[in-house]
C-alpha cells in the first residue's frame, strides 16, 4: 500500500463489483456475493438523463451499504459536465474511496483531489482509472500520487481512444496491461484488471484473471455477482503453490542460517528472488 495509507484501505482488492447507480434494487444486492469492494457507478452504467437520479439513489442506499461492504462511487470524468455535481451531490458518507475514470496526470489528480476536499470529502482516497492512451503511457505520474491508493486498467476505453480493435486474445492490450501493473508497483498501490464484458463466459474470466495475476494485478473488475467468486479464487495462491512456497521458505531460511544463499529444493535452484516470491505467496494466503 502507499506510504502512510489509512488502515481502512489496507486490504486486497481481488474483486471490485460495479452496479448501475440508477438501479436501487440492484445496488441493494451488491453485498450478497461478498466482493472485496463494491461500486455505485454514476458513469458508464447510467444514461445521461438519469445522472441526477443516480446521485440521489447513491445517498439513499449508501448508508445501508457501507455497513455491509466496502463501498466506492465511480464519478464521471473531470472533463465532463457531470463531474461537479457528482462530487457535490453524489458521494454519500462512509465511502472507502472514490473511483475516478480517465486520469492522465498528477495535475489531474491534484484537481480532482481539490474538488473533493472543497466538497467536504477531504482525504477521500482515489481509485484511478487508467483507460486512455495518455493515462497508460503516463501511468506512473498517477500511481505515485499520494491521493491514489488503487488503480484499474480499462481496456474498452483504452482501445476506443487508441482507435484499435478489441479481440478475445487481448494481444492489443498486452503492453498496456503490463504498463499499468508496472506503474502500480512503482507507486506501491494495487492494480485491478479489466472487465470481462461477457459475464457468462467463466472460462475467459478465469483465463484473463490468471494472466492478470501473473502480470502483478491483485484483482479484477466485476460487472456481475457470478464473477466475484471466480476472482476470489483466481487471485489467491493455489494449494500446490502454497506447498511449494512453504518448502522453499523453510529450506531457504535454514540455508541462510548455515551461511548458504543459493540452494536446490526439489531440483530447483533457489536464491533470494525465488525465496522472496515464496514468502509473498504465503503472505497472500493470509490476507
Q: Indicate if 245 and 226 belong to the same structural domain.
A: no
Question: For the segment 257-283, what is each residue's pLDDT rounded down to a tens digit?
Answer: 898 888 889 888 989 889 998 898 888
Q: Indicate if 275 and 217 belong to the same structural domain.
A: no
Question: For the segment 159-201, what is each residue's pLDDT rounded down to a tens digit?
Answer: 999 999 999 999 999 999 999 999 999 999 999 999 999 989 9
Q: Indicate if 228 and 259 belong to the same structural domain.
A: no
Is 32 domain-assigned? Answer: yes
Q: What percent of the chain has pLDDT over 90?
A: 79
Q: Indicate if 185 and 276 belong to the same structural domain.
A: no
Question: For the segment 14-54, what is each residue's pLDDT rounded down to a tens digit?
Answer: 999 999 999 999 999 999 999 999 999 999 999 999 999 99
> Which residue range is the domain that position 273 belongs to?
239-284
Do the bridges between strand 268-270 and strand 263-265 make them parallel or antiparallel, or are there none, so unpaired? antiparallel
Task: Give the per-residue pLDDT at 1.
Answer: 35
**Mean pLDDT along residues 105-130:** 98
Look at the chain and count its residues.
287
Q: Indicate if 103 and 29 belong to the same structural domain.
A: yes
Q: What's the half-sphere exposure (Cβ side, CA atoms, 13 Å) at 49?
A: 0
Q: Indicate if 181 and 245 belong to the same structural domain.
A: no
Give the C-alpha separation, 129 to 73, whole Å. Answer: 13
Is 122 domain-assigned? Answer: yes
Give the C-alpha separation, 192 to 7, whole Å. Answer: 19
Q: What is the pTM of this model?
A: 0.91
Q: Indicate if 269 and 194 belong to the same structural domain.
A: no
Tell me how crowded residue 103 is: count the other CB atoms within 10 A of its CB: 29
> 283, exposed or middle or buried, with CB in 10 Å at 0-12, 13-18, 19+?
exposed
| Tally of domains in the chain | 2
Task: Give the per-residue pLDDT at 3.
Answer: 34
Is 280 domain-assigned? Answer: yes
Amino acid at each position: 500500500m502507499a506510504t502512510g495509507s489509512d488502515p481502512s484501505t489496507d486490504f486486497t482488492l481481488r474483486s471490485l463489483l460495479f452496479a448501475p447507480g440508477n438501479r436501487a434494487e440492484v445496488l441493494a444486492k451488491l453485498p450478497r456475493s461478498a466482493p472485496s469492494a463494491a461500486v455505485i457507478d454514476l458513469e458508464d452504467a447510467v444514461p445521461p438523463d438519469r445522472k441526477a437520479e443516480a446521485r440521489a439513489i447513491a445517498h439513499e442506499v449508501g448508508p445501508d451499504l457501507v455497513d455491509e461492504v466496502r463501498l466506492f462511487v465511480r464519478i464521471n470524468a473531470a472533463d465532463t459536465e457531470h463531474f461537479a455535481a457528482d462530487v457535490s451531490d453524489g458521494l454519500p458518507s462512509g465511502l472507502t474511496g472514490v473511483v475516478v475514470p480517465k486520469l492522465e496526470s498528477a495535475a489531474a489528480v491534484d484537481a480532482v483531489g481539490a474538488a473533493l476536499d472543497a466538497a467536504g470529502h477531504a482525504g477521500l482516497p482515489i481509485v484511478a482509472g487508467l483507460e486512455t492512451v495518455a493515462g497508460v503511457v503516463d501511468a506512473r505520474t498517477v500511481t505515485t500520487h499520494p491521493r491514489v491508493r488503487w488503480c484499474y486498467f480499462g481496456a474498452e476505453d483504452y482501445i476506443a481512444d487508441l482507435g484499435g480493435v478489441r479481440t478475445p486474445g487481448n494481444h492489443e492490450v498486452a503492453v498496456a496491461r503490463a504498463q499499468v501493473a508496472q506503474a502500480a508497483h512503482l507507486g506501491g498501490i494495487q492494480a485491478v484488471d479489466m472487465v470481462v464484458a461477457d459475464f457468462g463466459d467463466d472460462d475467459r474470466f478465469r483465463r484473463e484473471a490468471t494472466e492478470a495475476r501473473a502480470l502483478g494485478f491483485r484483482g479484477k473488475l466485476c460487472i456481475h455477482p457470478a464473477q466475484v467468486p471466480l476472482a476470489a479464487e483466481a487471485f489467491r495462491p493455489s494449494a500446490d503453490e502454497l506447498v511449494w512456497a512453504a518448502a522453499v521458505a523453510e529450506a531457504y531460511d535454514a540455508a541462510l542460517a548455515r551461511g548458504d544463499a543459493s540452494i536446490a529444493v526439489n531440483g530447483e535452484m533457489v536464491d533470494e528472488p525465488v525465496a522472496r516470491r515464496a514468502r509473498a505467496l504465503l503472505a497472500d494466503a493470509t490476507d
